[in-house]
């Protein structure tokens, strides 16, 4: 049982997340093909592989270092609309974890809230526009509630993972209003947004790392 995510947990989280995206690359690409142009999965995996290589030499002394590395890699090397958005998303976890050895639930809630603010500021998407925001916003609410009610970290992460998953699933019913998916219209209905699905994977990996 843990009430903090130490660097060892964070390593499990980050590598678990990368493993899942690699395993699901074809699925993510297929989702982007249905609602955009089909480059999402391969872009994501190539930036994550590059991040993993950069992590190999890192001194994992703070909770945030691996997120800082992912952020820098995504901002420098990844393409598409989502690359810079994920780069800025990881950056918020790196910033909150920069001067600490472990993430508390409060810190994870803070990083999520900051990430939501940054992604919506840069991409101008609101909840309901069929983007990654549709998974981030419910995770933000879940973590906020967990902090307010004083529930355990594991419970908070479980709630965040479930909320992000439900939010991502719900994007199947939404018409796109941002990015390429807005040109696809009704053809995207029935398939979830790949960016939102990836955010759900991110919180699921966080939850698993704490178990």
Summarize as ranges the residues that interact with ligand ADP (CB under 6 A): 32, 36-37, 39-40, 43, 80-83, 85, 119, 123-125, 131-133, 178-180, 193-196
Altogether, the residues listed in the chain come to a count of 211
Residue 30 interacts with Mg ion (CB under 5 A): yes or no: no
Please give the Cα distance from 203 to 8 (Å, whole number). 16
* Nearest CB to ligand ADP, comparing residues 46 and 151: 46
Q: Are 48 and 70 in contact (CB under 8 A)?
A: yes
* Nearest CB to Mg ion, comparing residues 32 and 193: 32
* Nearest CB to Mg ion, comparing residues 16 and 36: 36
* Nearest CB to ligand ADP, comparing residues 37 and 152: 37
Residue 40 interacts with Mg ion (CB under 5 A): yes or no: yes
Tell me how far CA of residue 71 lies from CA of 33, 109, 156, in angstroms: 25, 18, 24
Restricted to residues 59-98, the positions that interact with Mg ion (CB under 5 A) are none
Shortest distance in whole angstroms from residue 74 CB to ligand ADP: 11
Interface pick for Mg ion out of 24, 32, 92, 127 (rule CB under 5 A): 32
In Å, how far from its chain's centre is CA 174?
20
Q: Which of Mg ion, ligand ADP, none interacts with 82 (beta carbon under 5 to 8 A by kind)?
A: ligand ADP
- Mask 138-177, x = binds Mg ion (CB under 5 A)? ----------------------------------------
Q: Which of Mg ion, ligand ADP, none interacts with 155 (beta carbon under 5 to 8 A by kind)?
A: none
Q: Are 82 and 38 in contact (CB under 8 A)?
A: no
Residues making contact with Mg ion (CB under 5 A): 32, 36-37, 39-40
């Amino acid at each position: 049982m843990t009430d903090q995510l130490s660097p060892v947990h964070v390593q499990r989280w980050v590598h678990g997340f990368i493993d899942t995206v690699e395993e699901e690359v074809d699925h993510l690409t297929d989702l982007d093909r249905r609602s955009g142009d089909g480059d999402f999965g391969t872009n994501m995996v190539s930036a994550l592989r590059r991040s993993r290589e950069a992590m190999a030499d890192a001194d994992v002394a703070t909770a945030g270092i691996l997120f800082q590395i992912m952020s820098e890699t995504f901002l420098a090397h990844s393409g598409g609309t989502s690359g810079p958005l994920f780069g800025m998303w990881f950056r918020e976890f790196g910033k909150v974890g920069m001067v600490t050895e472990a993430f508390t639930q409060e810190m994870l809630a803070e990083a999520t809230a900051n990430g939501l603010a940054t992604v919506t500021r840069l991409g101008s998407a609101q909840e309901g526009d069929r983007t990654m925001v549709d998974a981030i916003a419910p995770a933000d609410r879940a973590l906020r509630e967990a902090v307010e009610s004083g529930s355990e970290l594991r419970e908070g992460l479980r709630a965040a993972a479930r909320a992000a998953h439900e939010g991502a699933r719900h994007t199947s019913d939404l018409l796109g209003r941002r990015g390429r998916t807005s040109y696809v219209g009704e053809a995207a209905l029935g398939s979830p947004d790949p960016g939102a699905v990836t955010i759900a994977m991110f919180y699921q990996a966080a939850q698993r790392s704490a178990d």
